[in-house]
Amino acid sequence: MANSALTRRRFLTLTGGAAAAVAGSGLLAACGTSTTPTTGGAGSVTFPEYAPATLVKPDLPATADGVMAGFYEYPANLATAFTSKPGEGLGNVTVLTNMFNPVPPSAGSNAYWQEVNNRLGATLDITMTPSADYLSKLSTIIAGGQLPDLTLISSKLAHRADVLTRMCADLSEFVSGSAVKDYPFLANIPRDAWLPTAYGGGIYGVPIPRGIAGTIFFSRNDLIRARSLNNAPASYAEFVTLAEGLTDAKANRWAFGGIKRVIVFVGTMLGVPNTWKAEGGKFVSEFETEQRKEAVARTAELYKKGLFHPDSLGGKLQVRDLFGNGTIALHGDGYAAWDTMAAAYKAAEIGAMPAPKAEGGGIAQHPAGAAAFAITAVKKGDKARIKQLLKICDWLAAPLGTTEYMFRKFGIEGTHYTMQNGKPVLTDKGKVEVKLPLEYVIDAPPVLGPGDKARVDAQRAYQEKVVPTMLRSPADGLYSATAVDKAGEMSKIIDAAELDIVSGRKPAAYWDEAVAAWKKAGGDAARAEYEKAVSS
Partner 1 sequence: MVTLASRSRSVRRTANKPKLVNGAPAPNPVVRALKGIVLLICCAAVAIPFIGVISTSLADQDQITKAGGYVLWPSHPSFDAYAAIFRGGAVTRATLVSIGITLVGSLLSMAVVALLAYSLSRPGSFGHRPLLMLVLITMLFNAGMIPNYLLIKQLGLIDSWWALILPPVVSAFQVIIVRAFFMEVPREIIDAARIDGAGELQILTRIMLPLSKAVLAVVGLFQAVAYWSAFFNALLYINDPDKWPLSLVLRTYVVDNTAIGTDLPGEVVPPQQSLQMAILVVSLVPICLVYPFLQKHFAKGVVVGAVKG
Chain residues in the site for partner 1 (CB under 8 A): 15, 19, 22-23, 25, 27-28, 99-106, 108-109, 127-133, 136-137, 139-140, 143-144, 317-318, 320-322, 324-325, 327, 339-345, 420-421, 423-426, 428, 431-433, 451-452
**Residue with smaller CB distance to partner 1, 56 or 322:** 322
**33 C-beta neighbours (distance < 10 Å), count:** 9
H or E element at residue 327: none
**Residue with smaller CB distance to partner 1, 100 or 282:** 100
**Residue with smaller CB distance to partner 1, 190 or 351:** 351
**Residue with smaller CB distance to partner 1, 39 or 98:** 98
Least distance to partner 1, CB of residue 447, Å: 13
**Residue with smaller CB distance to partner 1, 423 or 520:** 423
Query: To 10 degrees, the CA torsion angle through 64, 67, 68, 72?
Result: -120
**Residue with smaller CB distance to partner 1, 440 or 511:** 440
Structural contact between residues 206 and 197, judged by C-beta atoms closer than 8 angstroms: yes
**Residue with smaller CB distance to partner 1, 317 or 483:** 317
Least distance to partner 1, CB of residue 26, Å: 11
Least distance to partner 1, CB of residue 344, Å: 3
In the beta sheet, which residues pair with residue 283? 278
Q: Which amino acid appears at position 49 of this protein?
A: E
d(CA 236, CA 244): 12
Least distance to partner 1, CB of residue 52, Å: 24
H or E element at residue 235: none
Least distance to partner 1, CB of residue 363, Å: 28
**Residue with smaller CB distance to partner 1, 344 or 509:** 344
Least distance to partner 1, CB of residue 431, Å: 7
Nearest to 306 by CA among 42, 94, 70, 503: 503
Task: From residue 382, give the alpha-carbon distance in Å to each of 192, 385, 388, 439, 530.
Answer: 29, 6, 10, 26, 33
Least distance to partner 1, CB of residue 100, Å: 5
**427 C-beta neighbours (distance < 10 Å), count:** 17
**Residue with smaller CB distance to partner 1, 16 or 37:** 16
Exposure class string for 351-390: b at 16+ Cβ within 10 A, else e: bbbbbbbbeeeebbbbbbbbbbbbbbbbbbeeeebbebbb
Q: Which amino acid appears at position 340 of this protein?
A: T
Least distance to partner 1, CB of residue 222, Å: 14
d(CA 502, CA 266): 13
Least distance to partner 1, CB of residue 157, Å: 14
For 176-225, the three-class secondary structure string (H helix, E strand, C coil) is CEHHHHHCCCCCCCCHHHHHHHEECCEECCEEEECCCCCEEEEEEHHHHH
d(CA 491, CA 487): 6
